[in-house]
Amino acid sequence: RLPTIYAITPTYSRPVQKAELTRLANTFRQVAQLHWILVEDRATRSELVSSFLARAGLPNTHLHVPTPRRYKRPWLPRATEQRNAGLAWLRQRHQHQSAQPGVLFFADDDNTYSLELFQEMRTTRKVSVWPVGLVGGRRYERPLVKNGKVVGWYTGWREDRPFAIDMAGFAVSLQVILSNPKAVFKRRGSQPGMQESDFLKQITTVDELEPKANNCTKVLVWHTRTEKVNLANEPKYHMDTVNIEV
């Protein structure tokens, strides 16, 4: 049986949310043995996401945790609490039985994922890495590989990062998550761009990383970002004869 891929997706309410989730679900539905852990940045589960998931046709777990208001700042990292909630659920679920083979991947709701990416990450033994497109002020960032080992990073931004890699650029085996029960994303002292390094430092070393995507020479995931929607002509009060979820 294939190892299960657990995709942890933090998500928050905004005009494009349902469009993003629809695109993501359309990708995930084509991936065998994938379990979607969708974590809403809210105090309660929203009706929109609940009914969306009910019709998504995907094995899923619907979690929620609000980001404390003091952390909602442009210069602070996003979705720390949500990713940790996903990690906690995974550990809780597997605490009794010895873990079935599984692979964890952090899948933001606005990125673009090729199907090949999931084939690559499926064989992760501990921690695997690959290039990410459209990130760090460059066309791509990638781990530099020599003789099958990661020896450095091709990046144009903060080259001092111990793991100069985006959240979409790595996967972790379930076994590693379970045998490092304290590994979490940290708020304290963590700047944007350092979340990945802070987390990976707790569970692996650069020397141990498994390069995927043909020794990290292929871009299979893109750090796309959706343009902010123009709602300039949206009426102040509800004017339509029907109430439509968008």
Residue numbers annotated as active site: 196
- Give the integer Cα–Cα distance in Å for 87 and 105: 10
Asked whether the beta carbons of 26 and 145 are under 8 A apart, the reply is: no
* Closest CB to ligand UDP among residues 120, 166: 166
Q: Which residues contact 151 (CB under 8 A, 6 or more apart)?
A: 144, 145, 206
Counted residue by residue, the chain has a size of 246
Q: Is residue 197 near ligand UDP by the rule CB under 6 A?
A: no
Out of Mn ion, ligand UDP, none, what residue 150 binds, judged by CB under 5 to 8 A for its kind, is: none
Asked whether the beta carbons of 86 and 63 are under 8 A apart, the reply is: yes
* Closest CB to Mn ion among residues 24, 174: 24
Q: Which stretch binds ligand UDP (CB under 6 A): 105-113, 201-209, 211-219, 236-244?
A: 105-113
- Give the integer Cα–Cα distance in Å for 89 and 143: 30
Q: Is residue 108 near Mn ion by the rule CB under 5 A?
A: yes
* Closest CB to ligand UDP among residues 68, 152: 68
Q: Which stretch binds ligand UDP (CB under 6 A): 75-83, 153-161, 178-186, 236-244?
A: 75-83
Q: DSSP per residue over 64-100, as a string?
A: E-PPPGGG--TTSPSSHHHHHHHHHHHHHHTSSSPPP
Out of ligand UDP, Mn ion, none, what residue 196 binds, judged by CB under 5 to 8 A for its kind, is: none
Residues that bind ligand UDP (CB under 6 A): 9-12, 41, 67, 72, 78-79, 82, 108-110, 225
